[in-house]
Amino acid sequence: MARIAQGDGYDLGDNIVDEMVDAMPVELSSRPSMLVDVDRGNPLEVEVVLGDALRIARQKVVQTPISDNTYRFAKLIQARRLAARGYITKDLDGWPQNRTLRGPLSQQLIC
């Protein structure tokens, strides 16, 4: 996310990732909100947490391979959860569907 912010013109400093890690006391041991949602069976906030940032990354030609894969896995989890509840009736064996984000990079995201 720091690379995306830098690519979008924000100067967060060279050590922003280390500063953020150091700012979180180990004793708090917090869990990412999307992981809490998965554990509770709640809908995932994939687009808000990852999708919007990744679209900016595509516009700014910032490569984000780890975030891309996290996004893909989260979308798959969400699709399977919705299918299990009957909200999606199409066969998921063909997942990903034919919907992709278009961007300047050859690597594209699943929508």
Q: Is the dihedral of CA 89, 51, 98, 74 positive or negative?
A: negative
State both tokens at 68. Answer: 């891309």
Q: What is the pTM of this model?
A: 0.69
Of the candidate CATH numbers 3.90.1150.10, 2.70.70.10, 1.10.1040.10, 3.60.70.12, the domain formed by 2-94 belongs to 1.10.1040.10
Query: Would you give per-residue pLDDT tens digits along the chain (111 residues)?
Result: 899 999 999 999 999 989 988 888 877 777 888 889 889 988 888 999 899 999 999 999 999 999 999 999 999 999 888 888 888 776 555 555 544 444 443 344 444
Q: What are the structural domain ranges in the chain?
A: 2-94
The residue type at 42: N
